[in-house]
Structure 1
Amino acid sequence: MSVPKVLVVLTSHDKLGNTGKPTGWYLSEFAHPYDVLNSASVSLTVASPRGGLSPVAPGSIEDAKDDEISQNFIKSETTKPLFEQTRPLSEFVGNPSAIAPYSAIFFPGGHGPMYDLPTSPESQQLIREFWEAGKAVAAVCHGPAALVNVKLSDGSHLLKGRKVTGFTNVEEDQVGLTQVMPFLLEDKLKEAAGPEGAFVKADQPWGEKVVVEADGRLITGQNPASAKGVGEAIVKFIKAQK
């Protein structure tokens, strides 16, 4: 029996707008899904727009200083190569045989993805190819930024008429970065889902919320607290395919 595989896509972007501050992907939003997937014997390959080192947001390391799972992930010699030696998205785009072994594509968050993934032609095409091959598309926190501009082959938006979640406007305001972002993720996700769809969020900011749509194939999580649940939803989808 072949080992199930998930393709993880991280950001290549390391600057927080014009603030001069560093950014990247958010540690716990990769570490916790990784822990869930690894425990379920799912193999992960990691890619990014440029390939090579994908930057982890320094603040997310500090935020997770008391989080054993995240600390083990960032320090382990087993997991370091996952984000230090990512493969370029161009290796997978337009190559059905390259994506054939994978059951899902997953986008962790962090503010970095807001800057490069929404406008990456390779990312948009890869998401479309995964979706139209019947695979799952998953993202957490700012990771759904990768989905806001994705059109399917028939010209319709991937998110049209669907329920979706992601980092909310209130949460962005509470971290003081509303004016720094290239757009507000909640607004763009609402626009993409359209009147037939919906942006869904937890009752309170920072609460856990995972939204699963389209027979388990579209999985989105609101914030860091939702990362483990997104990993669990991916595992559930993979098990249902057997």
Structure 2
Amino acid sequence: MDPIYKALFVCTSHTDYPTKPYKTGLWLSEATHFYDELDDRKLPYDIASPSGGPVPIDERSVDRRDTVNEKWYNDPTFRHKLEHSTRLDEIDPASYQILYLTGGHGAMWDFPDNQTLQTIVRYIYENGGLVAAVGHGVSGLLNVRLSDGSLLLDNRQVAGFSTMEEKLVRLDEEVPFLLEDALKQKKALYGKGFIPFLPYIEVDERLVTGQNPLSARKVGRKVMEEMYEK
């Protein structure tokens, strides 16, 4: 019998850009495409966010042609978890073996300095769990320190939304910082794909990170491989 692992998805609660008229939030496919890989094994999962309650969805990410988005966004259980996310400070990290930080630009505001999130990451990682993140969700790993005081990302191979991608979506002036630069400042070994917006992941032991929304499925697949095929 395969072990049953439980996954925790963490999504942003942040919606506003400094000057843009439209809203940000979770980039929907970063949750749905990842979960689509976990669903093959019917893994139990919870969805949490800094503020709890309804997870805001970046409206530009709700693509009608994306059948995976459509499938899970219309799935009653998945939708209910998205609309009734647990507050991060009500989460018991001991319940989870897989942690996944989803992206969407909102994460750049409410992930990096969230102490509760840092505690959850540290606990799951130090207790043999797997930590995964994609796109702007990787910002939640920037300030995580392990129990010995070292930075989780120090000298670790990691991917995340690139500066080129930020410029191409014309949001490089809106975000509080550029993720690629911040990762390099933390001494992470940042890697990215040769062509923007194509799937690209980095794997460093129990740390799996993806560059952009299209990387979410690949991250999910790699997480399943690491958990079940090693």
Please give the TM-score of this superposition, normalised by the length of structure 1.
0.90
Give 1:182's aligned residue.
176
Question: Quick one: distance in 1 between partners of 2:163 and 2:112?
Answer: 17
Letter in 1 for 2:106: G
- Is residue 2:125 matched to residue 1:131? yes
| Partner deviation per Cα, 1:103-145 (whole Å, 9 max, x = no partner) | 1100111001011011111111111111111111100111101
Task: List runs of 5+ in structure 1 lacking aligned partners.
Answer: 93-97
* TM-superposed deviation, 1:100: 2.8
Question: Quick one: distance in 1 between partners of 2:83 and 2:138?
Answer: 22
Runs of 4+, deviation exceeding 6 Å: none
Equivalent position SS for 2:98: strand
Q: CA RMSD in A?
A: 1.4
Give 2:152's aligned residue.
158
* TM-superposed deviation, 1:44: 1.0
- Is residue 2:116 matched to residue 1:116? no
* TM-superposed deviation, 1:16: 1.9
Assess if the C-alpha contact under 8 Å between 1:140 and 1:226 holds in 2.
yes
Give 2:226's aligned residue.
237
* Counterparts of residues 1-242 of structure 1 (less than 5 Å): 3-61=4-62, 64-92=63-91, 98-192=92-186, 194=187, 197-214=188-205, 217-240=206-229
Count of aligned residue pairs for this structure pair: 229
Assess if the C-alpha contact under 8 Å between 1:4 and 1:41 holds in 2.
no
Question: Quick one: distance in 2 between partners of 1:238 and 1:101?
Answer: 16
Equivalent position SS for 2:193: coil
Question: Quick one: distance in 1 between partners of 2:185 and 2:37?
Answer: 32
* TM-superposed deviation, 1:19: 2.6
* TM-superposed deviation, 1:4: 1.7
Question: Quick one: distance in 2 between partners of 1:209 and 1:78?
Answer: 29
* TM-superposed deviation, 1:102: 1.6
Question: Quick one: distance in 2 between partners of 1:22 and 1:67?
Answer: 20
Equivalent position SS for 2:80: helix
Assess if the C-alpha contact under 8 Å between 2:5 and 2:98 holds in 1.
no
Equivalent position SS for 2:171: coil
Question: Quick one: distance in 2 between partners of 1:139 and 1:12?
Answer: 16
Q: Percent identity, aligned pairs only?
A: 38
Assess if the C-alpha contact under 8 Å between 1:220 and 1:230 holds in 2.
yes
* TM-superposed deviation, 1:190: 1.1
Give 1:95's aligned residue.
none
Equivalent position SS for 1:32: helix
Equivalent position SS for 1:79: helix
Question: Quick one: distance in 1 between partners of 2:184 and 2:128?
Answer: 24
- C-alpha spacing 1:153/1:18, structure 2 compared with 1 (3 Å): farther
Question: Quick one: distance in 1 between partners of 2:185 and 2:132?
Answer: 19
* TM-superposed deviation, 1:69: 0.6
Letter in 1 for 2:52: G
| Partner deviation per Cα, 1:54-101 (whole Å, 9 max, x = no partner) | 10111111xx22110111222222311121011111112xxxxx3333
